[in-house]
Chains A and B, each alone.
Chain A
Amino acid sequence: MRSIRAIFIKQAKDMFKNPMVLIMFIIFPAVSLIMTELVAKSNDDIPNNMFVTMMAAIFAGMALITSMSGIIAEDIERGSLRLLVMAGVKPHQYLFGTGGFILLMGIVVSVIFTLIGDFTNTEIIKFLTVMVMSTAASIILGASIGIIAKNQQAATAIGMPFAVILGFTPMVAGFNKTVEKAASILYTQQMNVIVNDFSANFNKAMLVMGINIAVLLVLFIIIFRKRGLKV
């Protein structure tokens, strides 16, 4: 627990000095706030929460994958992870500490989204639930990419296609039925379905998201066993 806490604190201090990661957690709620206030609220044809739900889907898909993979790849590349492990930090403690902090940041940003949007209490609970599920899935995927990547540049190169597919597919699915059908297996699409229509089948969305997390977890375990943390 001591090591997890130390990594968590290190991550917290580091993130606020790392503009590349920090911007990911600021830009999406900021854009949704600006667009909601300037466009949605002054235009009756646009639903009040349209920009909140759109930015939330992109945030869950893009920001969390790239930040998690980037942090791990940087610590491996700089040799910091090697020293942490030599000091007695177990790989799973490192991953819990780092992932735990990203999860907390994901929850904070999700709460900010609910403050920007116009939701009832039940909708807030559903919104936060799907956001936490999506955050967890993206953290696991990001960790796998961070382990595979040889350095930060490689982490961005590998992570970006995943981030774009997961972040933007729900948006495209809104305009194309074939894409919508294909995207229904993705956790970000299920999240998008719920946050755009809180009366949609919540249990089905939870099931698909749960399966996504299970599959990503299995994938992560396979990659971790094969590659370890390359210390």
Chain B
Amino acid sequence: MIKMNGVIKRFGKNTVLTDVSFEVKKQEIFGLLGPSGAGKTTIINILTNQLNADGGNYETGASSFETGLMLDNDGLFPRLSCADNLNVFADIYNIPRKKSMEALKNVGLGEAAKKSVNNLSKGMRQRLALARAILHNPKILFLDEPTSGLDPATARGIHKLILELREKGATVFLTTHNMDEAVKLCDKVSLLHKGKIIEQGAPDEICRRYDSVKTVPDLESVFIKLTGVELE
């Protein structure tokens, strides 16, 4: 469903992506893993047509209407209520406004529908951003660091939601630097370092390859073995 083949991206003289290739199948949860600055967000920006690649080809097989986005910057309207934030997008997508309430209930924000975004905690804002991303039942969801900076309980809630979305038929493309999250959620991962894919496959498969299966597969030690760089 999502394909990247030999993609290159340069910003001026700086090459940020080199020969990036991967494939994500329908209804898969795919994780792009790497430290900050590895090029994860650049890949999302290319796949969502916010940036053009300088080489290679790529496709998502979905229109912008069939794509849901949760970006590093939540992009919420801070003075509007949770419901109004979603209603703006419901109007744009031409779907009934009652869908906004359904999406809020799905992420556990039904009670906070009338609350202004300014009064939400970071976890609630993340959930609201996720509600906006799933409002129109997209075929593909791009989630950029969906649990970054969240407490474990809220992160678990988001993990549960992501798994439910996959069950409902969505293909999920997420970026993270949290290896445990990737092991828990992803069917397939690509490890990205300095703009290059250094390894890819199913998380437990990769860990077995590098003899890093302890009680649970340990992708973090695989990454350190491959790059010598610790994830922050």
Q: Interface 1/0s, chain A 72-95, versus B by CB < 8 A? A: 000000111111101111000000
CA distance A78 to B93 in the complex (A): 21
Q: Are B69 and A86 in contact (CB under 8 A)?
A: yes
CA distance A231 to B75 in the complex (A): 11
* Residues in B91-121 with C-beta less than 8 Å from chain A: 91-94, 116
Q: Are B80 and A14 in contact (CB under 8 A)?
A: yes
Q: Are A87 and B75 in contact (CB under 8 A)?
A: no
Residues of A within 8 A of B93 (CB): 87-88
- Kindly provide the distance from the CB of B100 to the nearest chain A CB, expressed in whole angstroms: 12
CA distance A83 to B91 in the complex (A): 14
Interface size class of A (residues with CB under 8 A): 20 to 34
- Kindly provide the distance from the CB of B165 to the nearest chain A CB, expressed in whole angstroms: 18
Q: Are A83 and B94 in contact (CB under 8 A)?
A: no
Q: Are B64 and A6 in contact (CB under 8 A)?
A: no
Least CB separation from B116: chain A residue = A17
Q: Are B48 and A86 in contact (CB under 8 A)?
A: yes
Interface presence of A185 (CB below 8 A): no
Question: If A17-B116, A88-B65 touch, does A82 touch B75 (CB 8 Å cutoff)?
Answer: yes
- Kindly provide the distance from the CB of B138 to the nearest chain A CB, expressed in whole angstroms: 10
Q: Are A2 and B79 in contact (CB under 8 A)?
A: no
Q: Are A78 and B75 in contact (CB under 8 A)?
A: yes
Residues of A within 8 A of B50 (CB): 82, 86, 231
Least CB separation from A89: chain B residue = B92
Interface presence of A126 (CB below 8 A): no
* Residues in B119-133 with C-beta less than 8 Å from chain A: 132
CA distance A64 to B109 in the complex (A): 36
A positions within 8 Å CB-CB of B? 2-3, 5-7, 9-10, 13-14, 17-18, 78-84, 86-89, 231
B positions within 8 Å CB-CB of A? 48, 50, 64-65, 67, 69, 71, 73-80, 84, 88-89, 91-94, 116, 132
